[in-house]
Structure 1
Amino acid sequence: MIPIRPLYSAANLAAGGCESIHRRATFLLQGSGMYFPRSRPNLIERKTNTYTESTGSTAAEDLPSPDANAFIDTSGLSSVESKAAFFDVDGTVCKTNVVLAYFSARVEELAVWVRLVWVPYFILTCVLYLIVDWFHRPTFNRIFYMSYRGRTVESKAALAKIIYTKYYKPRIFKDAAAIIKRLKAEGFKIVLVTGSLDFLVAPLAEDLDADHVYAAEIIEENGRLTGKLKGMYASNDEKALRVQDFAREHGMSLSNCLGFGDSIADLPMLEIVGRAYVVNPDARLRAIALRRGWPVMQWMLAPAKL
């Protein structure tokens, strides 16, 4: 029998490793003056958040800590009844991405001999996904989620269980779990805002005791998934719009809210909250955080159990 781990490592190199190469390339382009950020329509009323940690630290250096809670400042918000903390999921709450989430389930379904053909094909398609994602993440997700086309609606629960158990749960950042628990105790509504599929992140939301989830939804027809997304994909400006909707519906002032993200796609959401926190960021978001004085934190996974 062919072991799964080498196959998984190869796919991880394509889906995750290419992201690292992409980040380094962006950094070099920025330094050479050749890099131009992707423009976005001005759909969101934004403000520049110049918040600095109460400890005196700024975003000039990353802020690792045995207790990440030390860097989350909620001073002045204890008396506020209606407040929320908005979290991106992939890369922020978990060391995950939507491509490897699908891969972790798909390899379980395939016969060993089929994997020999499918895995190299999948690795090549990851390169295409990377290119599309670079130019426009919503387009990438609309293309990628066609991978789920034809699956039965009844299979969603079993698929979510496999992906959460084998992929998401072992990759939850311990700092994220600790901070979410603390903020819940302080009266914050916990809201996950993600481009992942709703039924795949449902077990994660339940484990974290999240109050609400904004996620991508696949249209269902005749008992099967079409692969087409319902409505707008939760990324970029759409994330900010959903955050604004939540605040409006719950009578919240976004100045009393916190935001956590890891990529440039989270920027519109981070720009409209009172206190923005950047977690394990990509090169573009890191550069912006440095300029604006946003705390940049490095969250880590819990040590593996022997």
Structure 2
Amino acid sequence: MLATRPRFAFTDVDHTLLRVSTLHHFGEYFFETTRRGEVLAAHRTRMQRLAETGVDRATLNESYYQLWSDIPVHEVDVAAVTWHEQLRAAGLYRTSVLTRLRGLRAEGVETVLVSGSFRACLRPIERELDCAAVLCTELDERDGVFTGTVRRSLIGPAKRSEVEAFVAGYPGHDLAGDFGFGDHISDVPVLESVGHPAVIPVDPALESVARERGWEVLRDDER
């Protein structure tokens, strides 16, 4: 008897699965609760000045991670668990996406998170959804401490490359049977690579593409 080939739901996290950006929401939680507010304030000023220069999203993403320089990895892992409990209690998961993913899981479709965020704050979400994998930005560590350097960034086109590399581990896998969920125009490369793309209408540019291509638009209750 032939084994059933796996199917996947490649799911963006920030503003798609969740109503917030994990980078900013968790960052604020961590640095405030650990009494490092001055580090966060200096970071905000630096990022604002950088944004005003007009640099691209990939550069901003890599610059963001300087915030975590010299922070112990274990401390971040522990804080992420409590942060996620509060996030879940506050109803910050998008009901439409969460319900769809759980329904797909019942049909044998496994969730794969695809995010420019980093593994420490994605790990509780991974456990919550019992994900098959997490494709994300990877940070450099030394002696159990984050260095503030990005080892691998997962922004824009890099997401599709990572998805293709992931399914390459399943010989004969056909992305036409897979699902994709995104909220930003930068998610188009992944969404157009799968057979069942769905869009959260947050970005007008992406919503326009969805209408033109006949992609599903998942609307959630307003909050």
AA matched with 1:103? E
Q: Which residue of 2 aligns with 1:144?
A: 64
How big is the shift at 1:155?
Answer: 1.4
Structure-2 change in CA distance of 1:121 and 1:172 (3 Å): same
Give the secondary-structure state (helix, strand or coil) at the position aligned to 1:298.
Answer: coil
Q: CA contact under 8 A between 1:235 and 1:266: conserved in structure 2?
A: no
Structure-2 change in CA distance of 1:186 and 1:126 (3 Å): same
- Return the alpha-carbon distance in structure 1 between the equivalents of residues 147 and 78 of structure 2: 18
Q: Is 1:92 the equivalent of 2:16?
A: yes
2:112 to 191, 211, 214: 191
2:202 to 253, 257, 281: 281
Structure-2 change in CA distance of 1:228 and 1:274 (3 Å): same
2:137 to 216, 220, 237: 216
Structure-2 change in CA distance of 1:138 and 1:247 (3 Å): same
- Return the alpha-carbon distance in structure 1 between the equivalents of residues 20 and 89 of structure 2: 10
Structure-2 change in CA distance of 1:285 and 1:131 (3 Å): farther
Structure-2 change in CA distance of 1:168 and 1:220 (3 Å): farther
Give the secondary-structure state (helix, strand or coil) at the position aligned to 2:141.
Answer: strand
TM-score (ref. length: structure 1): 0.64
2:99 to 178, 189, 194: 178
Structure-2 change in CA distance of 1:129 and 1:257 (3 Å): farther
Q: CA contact under 8 A between 1:168 and 1:204: conserved in structure 2?
A: no
- Whose radius of gyration is greater, 1 or 2? 1
Give the secondary-structure state (helix, strand or coil) at the position aligned to 2:199.
Answer: strand
Q: CA contact under 8 A between 1:280 and 1:299: conserved in structure 2?
A: no
Query: 5+ unaligned residues in a row in structure 1: which ranges?
Result: 1-79
How big is the shift at 1:129?
Answer: 6.1
Q: Which residue of 2 aligns with 1:235?
A: 155
Q: Is 1:272 the equivalent of 2:208?
A: no
Give the secondary-structure state (helix, strand or coil) at the position aligned to 2:192.
Answer: helix
Matched pairs, number: 218
- Return the alpha-carbon distance in structure 2 between the equivalents of residues 89 and 152 of structure 1: 24
Q: How does 1:289-300 map to 2 (within 5 A)?
A: 289-300=210-221
Structure-2 change in CA distance of 1:241 and 1:119 (3 Å): closer
Give the % identical residues. 24
Q: CA contact under 8 A between 2:30 and 2:76: conserved in structure 1?
A: no
AA matched with 1:199? A
Give the secondary-structure state (helix, strand or coil) at the position aligned to 1:91.
Answer: helix
How big is the shift at 1:135?
Answer: 4.6
Q: Which residue of 2 aligns with 1:105?
A: 30
AA matched with 1:156? V
How big is the shift at 1:184?
Answer: 0.7
- Return the alpha-carbon distance in structure 1 between the equivalents of residues 221 and 34 of structure 2: 30
Structure-2 change in CA distance of 1:227 and 1:126 (3 Å): closer
Q: Which residue of 2 aligns with 1:47?
A: none
Q: Which residue of 1 aligns with 2:79?
A: 159
- Return the alpha-carbon distance in structure 1 between the equivalents of residues 146 and 93 of structure 2: 27
- Return the alpha-carbon distance in structure 1 between the equivalents of residues 40 and 146 of structure 2: 23
Point out the structure with the larger strand share: 2
AA matched with 1:296? V
- Return the alpha-carbon distance in structure 2 between the equivalents of residues 138 and 86 of structure 1: 20
Post-superposition Cα deviations, 1:182-236, rounded to whole Å, max 9, x if no partner, equal: 11110112111011111211111101111111111211113311011112x1121
Q: Which residue of 2 aligns with 1:203?
A: 124
